[in-house]
Amino acid sequence: MLLQPVDSHTLFTARAGEQRLGEVLAQLPVVNDQQQYQQALAAAWQRGQRIMLLGVPESIGPRANLGRAGAEDGWYAALKGLLNLQANGLVASDLLLLAGAVITADLQQQSADLDPSNSQQIKQLRDLCRQLDERVRAILQPAFAQGFAVILIGGGHNNAYPLITSLAAAVENAVGAINLDPHADFRACEGRHSGNGFSYAQQQGALAHYHVVGLHPAKNNAVSLQRMQQAGFSWVTLQQLWQQPWAEQLCQLQQLSESWQCSFGLEIDVDALYGVPASAINFIGLSVSHAATLISTLASNNKARYLHLAEAAPSLHPHGRSSGDLVTAQVLSELVLAYLQGYCRRTP
């Protein structure tokens, strides 16, 4: 089995006279190898699906970056929120293809007892992250090559690396990324983890343009910022955002992404958002409406090929898992809808 399918009927509550998204979303059939997978993608494309929903339930990348576990639960919490939403004429659910999740259970199990503070064991964690990269790429590259846009729900921000490299390989050109995140995730290429997906992608030649929105000046090491500047990459700080109307910022981001003239991805680390449970939960961050309007605005660009929702960790909510599941479900499903809304405004 190449992907873990979604048992959608266990994730939504039916109600007489109504339809939930869980009842109508097209699902990828069970596939056992790459040939079956590519055939299933082609068939879905013929049926009119255009946006693939993919989960990567893992916390290997955050732990390999000396962070906390918990991001492995973001995908299922997001599904509970999304699949319980109403299917009606206001939601273009016919464009969505529910692909399932990258199989990660064995890697998670191998990582469970590894101690990041141990020099040998952190190397093992980072090697497991590298193995995860390969699995994620094997799913993403055929989807991008078929023409799909992808919404990937993690998991850690380490999955930016297979997203960027898969898209670059599919379009046979370096690509761009706009990242809503207090951290640039441009740490040293010291072994794979959630803090260096963009630096690895740039080193490989897959990332030509990179802009961070809401970067916190005191939460990034000097070497990372230096290396970003040397690469010609840019950022706007959280403090600068507080001083300029958001509508103006969105207009500038639109102009920036259009100037790149290449395929690009939208990266949202939920620890940029106020009070959303994450490995590095944030209480001075931006609002969900900031993230949703950014996504909706930029997703209207035909070259915006993916949305990455990273680092949600329901179990790390200050009030416990049930509160974390509720917040994660609401926030991530709203951000998925924002991408869908933007996609529907594209020029044919």
Cβ contact 97:335 at 8 Å: no
Which two three-digit tokens encode residue 213? 């929105």
pLDDT tens digits, 67-91: 999 999 999 999 999 999 999 989 9
What distance in Å separates the CA atoms of residue 204 and residue 200, rounded to the nearest whole number? 6
3-343, CATH topology level: Arginase; Chain A (3.40.800)
Mean pLDDT of 216-222: 96
Strand partners, 176: 209, 264
Residue 303 pLDDT: 98
Strand partners, 210: 177
How many C-beta atoms lie closer than 10 Å to residue 195's C-beta?
26
Statement: residue 279 has pLDDT above 90: no
What distance in Å separates the CA atoms of residue 340 and residue 97, rounded to the nearest whole number? 12
What is the Cα 37 distance to its own chain's centre?
21
Cβ contact 270:312 at 8 Å: yes
What distance in Å separates the CA atoms of residue 252 and residue 248, rounded to the nearest whole number? 6
Statement: residue 146 has pLDDT above 90: yes
Band (235; pLDDT cuts 50, 70, 90) = very high
Residue 250 pLDDT: 98
pLDDT tens digits, 5-45: 999 888 988 899 999 999 999 999 999 999 999 999 999 99
Mean pLDDT of 43-70: 98
Omega of the bond leading into 155 within 30 degrees of 0 (cis): yes
What is the Cα 173 distance to its own chain's centre?
21
Residue 14 pLDDT: 86
Cβ contact 222:186 at 8 Å: no
Q: Which of 11-20, 128-137, 256-265, 266-275 has the lowest mean pLDDT?
A: 11-20
Statement: residue 126 has pLDDT above 90: yes
Angle value at C-alpha 311, between 306 and 315, nearest 5 degrees = 140
Residue 293 pLDDT: 98
Q: Which of 71-75, 85-89, 124-128, 229-233 has the lowest mean pLDDT?
A: 85-89
Residue 3 pLDDT: 97
Statement: residue 152 has pLDDT above 90: yes
13-32 b/e (C-beta count within 10 Å ≥ 16 → b): eeeeeeebbbeebebbeebe
Which two three-digit tokens encode residue 245? 């109307």
What distance in Å separates the CA atoms of residue 268 and residue 78, rounded to the nearest whole number? 14
Helix axes 34-47, 119-146, angle to 10 degrees: 50
Q: Where are the beta strands (DSSP E) in the chain?
A: 3-4, 26-27, 51-56, 96-102, 149-154, 175-180, 207-215, 234-237, 264-269, 304-310
| Domain definitions of the chain by residue range | 3-343
What distance in Å separates the CA atoms of residue 29 and residue 71, rounded to the nearest whole number? 26
Q: What is the enclosing helix (H) or strand (E) of 60?
A: helix 60-64
